[in-house]
């Protein structure tokens, strides 16, 4: 029988529940944001590039001849004066970014952005669903863990004062990293949302709007303060009430004119998602964890070099994140965006001008708390001896090291003290990705 959520939390979380409340938070916690009793915590935005995003197209070792040998049709030319938009954006004399990443390169130069090379899972699987599961549950090879790592963190550190909008995903179904016992909010589309108001009475929140408002005051008497009902019917009603209250609160913030964005985001789904996240952050709505899925990175064919599918998708990521940073203003000092993908791709291009499932991938970290403007991770080149199984990028940085540093750096949450990651040997030498 698979370990249930509850059993897993029992195994790993009991010590944490008492200890990891507000009091256990790190030095970065600031209380008393304007106009509310809600402590404003930093925000982490997790962007999942689903499908296995190609590391060698994003962080390009243009100083290595082998890169061009391995990729006769999809390599990006070295930087040159002739057509700067087609060439690698050089960041040093070996590495550069894909030309679509101009926005991210600017952030890198401002010290707000850092790439991590050869990062990924210690598990060798090249299966999308296994690799995604393992990463999003932060438990490579351990199938008995069924809750997402972000959800586990939220659950272990929850308090009676949690904001209704502490964990939000602007998509209809939660990404796996946010699934679990903690009631994170997947935001339904507008059509479906209008149904919610009809059901307020049936789910015990006739005055849903009033409930949402009263929670801002010191005398908040919301269901979450009470002990959760353990009965079947009670739990259904509680879940419904939570959904309604959260949606009301969310729409209040999103529709409030003073949270409007002054910058232009790309007119893409991703752009809209980041714009809404920025609104929540600017409004001090208590958003701590946001997660977004960006599908379609499984570029087995026609992946393109300077131009093509990868360029369009990565351009969307880069432009969106740059707009997001602009939009946040000083709030970026307490916000981190972290990108990841389940694995990298083959170093050599395949017969279809694409690449196949690989092993080591890459991560990008953006935000004020990031020690940016430099590369992280270990790099051993592209010779077949240094490749994993002679074909893929190796993994030198366990993605859990990165997760752990983000949780510790932003929230003072020590993953290893809490046995947060099953079967994980904590890295003794932190990378220093997050400023302390």
Q: Does 242 bind other proteins (CB under 8 A)?
A: yes
Q: What's the min distance (Å) between Cβ of 1 and other proteins?
A: 6
Part in contact with other proteins (CB under 8 A); list of ranges 52-60, 154-162, 187-195, 259-267: 187-195
User: From the list 125, 248, 318, 353, which residue makes contact with other proteins (rule: CB under 8 A)?
Assistant: 125
What string marks each residue from 20 to 49 as x (binds other proteins by CB under 8 A) or -? Answer: ------------------------------
Binding mask 58-77 for other proteins (x = CB under 8 A): --------x--xx-------
**Member of 8, 48, 97, 203 binding other proteins (CB under 8 A):** 203
Q: Using CB under 8 A, which of the segments 154-162, 193-201, 400-408, 422-430 binds other proteins?
A: 193-201
- Using CB under 8 A as the binding rule, whether residue 237 contacts other proteins is answered as yes
Buried b / exposed e along 175-189 (16+ C-beta atoms within 10 A): bbbbbbbbbbbbbbe
Q: How is residue 71 annotated by DSSP? A: -
Among all chains, which residue has been given the structure tokens 């002990």?
227
Closest distance between other proteins and the C-beta of residue 236, in Å? 4
Quote the least distance from Cβ 163 to other proteins, whole Å: 14
* Residue 92 found at the interface with other proteins (CB under 8 A): no
384-to-232, 347, 374, 392, 410 alpha-carbon distances in Å:
57, 9, 26, 9, 38
> Is the CB of 69 or the CB of 436 nearer to other proteins?
69
Cβ-based neighbours of 11, under 8 Å, separated by 6 or more: 3, 419
Q: Of 267 and 385, which CB lies nearer to other proteins in the complex structure?
A: 385
Closest separation between CB of residue 145 and other proteins, Å?
11
Residue 300: closest CA among 74, 98, 94 = 74
> The tokens 């029992």 sit on which residue?
10
CA distance 52 to 272: 23
At its nearest, how many Å lie between other proteins and the CB of residue 237? 5
Q: Is 173 in the site for other proteins (CB under 8 A)?
A: yes
Of 183, 284, 190, nearest to 239 (Cα)? 183
According to the binding rule CB under 8 A, does residue 229 interact with other proteins? yes
Q: DSSP strand E in 165-229: where?
A: 167-169, 185-186
How many Cα atoms occupy the beta-carbon half-sphere of 436 within 13 Å? 11
Tell me the site size for other proteins, rule CB under 8 A: 71
- Answer for which of 15, 30, 37, 239 binds other proteins (CB under 8 A) is 239
Q: Per CB under 8 A, does 163 bind other proteins? A: no
φ, ψ of residue 116 in degrees (nearest 5): -120, 120
| CB distance 141 to 423 below 8 Å | yes
Residue 381 sits in the site that holds other proteins (CB under 8 A):
no
219 binds other proteins, rule: CB under 8 A: no
223 binds other proteins (CB under 8 A): yes
**CA dist., res. 373 & res. 358, Å (int):** 27
Indicate which single residue of 7, 206, 256, 264 sits in contact with other proteins (rule: CB under 8 A). 206
Does residue 1 interact with other proteins by CB under 8 A? yes
Q: Does 262 bind other proteins (CB under 8 A)?
A: no
Within a 10 A sphere around the Cβ of 145, how many other Cβ atoms? Answer: 24
Residue 399 makes contact with other proteins by CB under 8 A: no
Q: Is 38 helix (H, G, I), strand (E, B) or coil?
A: coil
Residues 6+ apart with CB under 8 A from 69: none
With CB under 8 A as the contact rule, the residue among 348, 359, 400, 418 that binds other proteins is 348
* 143 touches other proteins by CB under 8 A: yes
Pairing between strand 335-340 and 96-97? unpaired
- Cβ atoms of 206 and 222 closer than 8 Å: no
């Amino acid at each position: 029988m698979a370990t249930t959520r509850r059993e897993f939390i029992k195994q790993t979380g009991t010590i944490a529940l008492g200890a990891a409340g507000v009091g256990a938070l790190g030095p970065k916690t600031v209380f008393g944001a304007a106009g509310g009793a809600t402590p404003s915590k930093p925000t982490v935005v997790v962007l999942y590039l689903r499908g296995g995003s190609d590391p060698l197209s994003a962080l390009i070792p243009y100083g290595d001849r082998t890169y061009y040998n391995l990729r006769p049709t999809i390599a990006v030319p070295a930087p040159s004066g002739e057509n700067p938009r087609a060439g690698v954006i050089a960041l040093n004399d070996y590495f550069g970014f894909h030309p679509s990443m101009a926005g991210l390169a600017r952030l890198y130069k401002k010290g707000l952005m850092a790439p991590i090379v050869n990062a990924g899972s210690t598990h060798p699987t090249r299966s999308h669903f296994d690799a995604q599961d393992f990463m999003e549950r932060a438990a490579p090879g351990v199938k008995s863990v069924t809750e997402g790592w972000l959800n586990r963190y939220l659950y272990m550190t929850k308090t009676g004062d949690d904001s209704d909008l502490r964990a939000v995903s602007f998509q209809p179904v939660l990404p796996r990293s946010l699934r679990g016992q903690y009631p994170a909010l997947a935001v339904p589309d507008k059509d479906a949302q209008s149904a919610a108001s009809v059901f307020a009475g049936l789910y015990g929140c006739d005055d849903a709007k009033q409930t949402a408002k009263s929670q801002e005051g010191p005398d908040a008497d919301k269901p979450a303060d009470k002990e959760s009902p353990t009965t079947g019917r009670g739990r259904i009603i509680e879940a419904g009430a939570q959904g309604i209250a959260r949606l009301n609160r969310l729409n209040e913030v999103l529709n409030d004119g003073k949270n409007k964005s002054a910058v232009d985001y790309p007119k893409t789904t991703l752009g809209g998602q980041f714009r809404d996240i920025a609104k929540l952050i600017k409004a001090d709505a208590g958003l701590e964890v946001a997660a977004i899925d960006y599908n379609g990175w499984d570029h087995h064919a026609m992946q393109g070099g300077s131009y093509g599918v990868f360029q369009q998708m990565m351009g969307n990521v880069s432009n969106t994140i740059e707009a997001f940073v602009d939009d946040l203003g000083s709030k970026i000092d307490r916000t981190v965006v972290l990108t990841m993908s389940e694995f990298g791709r083959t170093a050599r291009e395949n017969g279809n001008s694409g690449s196949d499932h690989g092993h080591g991938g890459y991560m990008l970290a953006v935000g004020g708390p990031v020690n940016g403007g430099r590369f992280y991770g270990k790099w051993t080149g592209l010779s077949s001896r240094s490749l994993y199984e002679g074909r893929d990028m190796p993994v030198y940085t366990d993605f859990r090291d990165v997760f752990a540093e983000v949780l510790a750096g932003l929230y003072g949450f020590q993953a290893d003290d809490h046995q947060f990651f099953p079967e994980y040997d904590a890295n003794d030498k932190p990378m220093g990705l997050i400023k302390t």
